[in-house]
């Protein structure tokens, strides 16, 4: 079992399979947008080996992310192989859903049961403005196809940013009500080197909750499938609302994860730029035991908690690089 210095059990790995993305979301992509060369991106075989070794240490949950994971060819192959690893019992995917509709059946065949979709607006023109791509209809179609394919649950993640989309909070709740799915509001986090993030652009979970309560009755959800979110049932509907509040509160005591970046760095904490190069080991003649020892050491340096709201340091890299 992997246990850090603060007695947290680490059983979850987020794997970024690429730093490439088909969207250019204004708050995520840095101006220059340089890519890691293909040869520096972990191969599927390297990822599979890493996850197999991690599973032997007690990791049971994997999330594939990016960049945009569906922008990398052969993702169904990876999913299938990871599903076959003994000890891995939960694999999920985080996607912007532009390509999801066309791939959902193949992904389902490979073992995908649930999906997280990032969507920050319900307005077609605004979607094109935020992402730089006119693909809103593709995303909606993907969501419908995913519901039809039986993905359960579908969690729609929305980053609310002042002046960007904070006028759509109630519209998102209406969607959760209509579709009977989960909408999770995520606080805008301090990533990337551009200037958009500052305290004035953050809308806290509490502010969002207050807006929702003007129209809806939210009851604390009894479901245990909540991850880092505080979940609520919308009274009179199957829909659920979640709040993920990494900026205004500490969810660190419940943190059970580490991240593997597409370039092969192991990142013990999202909010710290400290990373360890596991690719070097995977590409040397290191044994599984040596890689296990490396993972154990990395987990040991996981910090107890991030800084307070006013003191959070901006991370050097955007979430596209780290794997959001």
Binding site for ligand SAM (CB under 6 A): 21, 27-28, 65-66, 68, 94-96, 118, 157, 159, 186, 188-189, 191, 319-320, 324
CB of 96 to ligand SAM, least distance (A): 4
Q: Which residue is nearest to ligand SAM (CB)?
A: 324
Contact 154/143 with Cβ under 8 angstroms?
A: yes
CB of 157 to ligand SAM, least distance (A): 5
Q: Which residues have CB under 8 Å from 271's CB, separation 6+?
A: 189, 190, 246, 303, 306, 307, 312, 313, 315
Q: Interior CA angle at 315 toward 312 and 321, to 5°?
A: 145
How far, in Å, CA of 31 to CA of 36, rounded? 15
DSSP symbol at 48: H
How far, in Å, CA of 194 to CA of 1, rounded? 39
Nearest to 275 by CA among 203, 225, 228, 323: 323
How far, in Å, CA of 107 to CA of 113, rounded? 9
Q: For residues 97 and 282, which CB has a smaller minimum distance to ligand SAM in the complex? A: 97
CB of 57 to ligand SAM, least distance (A): 25
Nearest to 6 by CA among 302, 307, 308: 302
Q: For residues 66 and 264, which CB has a smaller minimum distance to ligand SAM in the complex? A: 66
Q: For residues 51 and 75, which CB has a smaller minimum distance to ligand SAM in the complex? A: 75
Contact 212/204 with Cβ under 8 angstroms?
A: no
How far, in Å, CA of 159 to CA of 180, rounded? 20
Q: For residues 160 and 218, which CB has a smaller minimum distance to ligand SAM in the complex? A: 160
CB of 8 to ligand SAM, least distance (A): 22
State the residue for tokens 């569906």. Answer: 70
Q: For residues 127 and 294, which CB has a smaller minimum distance to ligand SAM in the complex? A: 127
Q: For residues 175 and 281, which CB has a smaller minimum distance to ligand SAM in the complex? A: 175
CB of 244 to ligand SAM, least distance (A): 9
CB of 161 to ligand SAM, least distance (A): 8
Q: For residues 107 and 159, which CB has a smaller minimum distance to ligand SAM in the complex? A: 159
Q: For residues 285 and 311, which CB has a smaller minimum distance to ligand SAM in the complex? A: 311
CB of 293 to ligand SAM, least distance (A): 30
Contact 283/159 with Cβ under 8 angstroms?
A: no
CB of 285 to ligand SAM, least distance (A): 33
How far, in Å, CA of 100 to CA of 104, rounded? 6
Q: What is the DSSP string of 268-292?
A: S-TT----EE-HHHHTTT--HHHHH
State the residue for tokens 């551009």. Answer: 194
């Amino acid at each position: 079992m992997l246990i850090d210095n603060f007695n947290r059990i680490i059983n979850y790995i987020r794997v970024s399979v690429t730093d490439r993305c088909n969207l250019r979301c204004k708050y995520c992509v840095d101006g220059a947008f340089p890519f890691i060369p293909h040869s520096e991106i972990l191969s599927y075989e390297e990822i599979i080996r890493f996850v197999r070794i991690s599973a032997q240490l007690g990791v049971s949950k994997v999330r594939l992310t990016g960049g945009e994971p569906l922008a990398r060819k052969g993702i169904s192959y990876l999913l299938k192989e990871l599903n076959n690893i003994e000890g891995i019992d939960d694999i999920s995917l985080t996607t912007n859903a532009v390509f999801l509709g066309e791939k959902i059946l193949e992904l389902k065949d490979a073992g995908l049961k649930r999906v997280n979709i990032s969507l920050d607006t319900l307005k077609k023109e605004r979607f094109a403005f935020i992402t730089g791509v006119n693909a809103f209809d593709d995303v909606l179609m993907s969501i419908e196809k995913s519901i039809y394919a039986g993905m359960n649950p579908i969690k729609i993640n929305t980053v609310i940013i002042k002046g960007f989309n904070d006028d759509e909070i109630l519209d998102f709740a209406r969607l959760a009500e209509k579709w009977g799915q989960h909408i999770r509001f995520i606080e805008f986090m301090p990533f990337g080197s551009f200037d958009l993030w500052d305290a004035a652009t953050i809308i806290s979970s509490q502010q969002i909750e207050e807006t929702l309560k003007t129209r809806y009755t939210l009851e604390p959800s009894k479901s245990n499938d909540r991850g880092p979110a505080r979940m609520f049932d919308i009274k009179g509907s199957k829909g659920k609302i979640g709040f993920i509040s990494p900026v205004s509160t500490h969810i660190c005591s419940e943190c059970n994860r580490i991240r593997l970046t597409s370039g092969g760095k192991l990142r013990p904490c999202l909010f710290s730029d400290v990373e360890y190069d596991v690719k070097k080991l995977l590409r040397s003649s290191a044994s599984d035991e040596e890689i296990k020892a490396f993972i154990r050491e990395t987990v040991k340096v996981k910090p107890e908690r991030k800084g307070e709201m006013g003191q959070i340091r901006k991370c050097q890299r955007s979430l596209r690089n780290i794997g959001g």
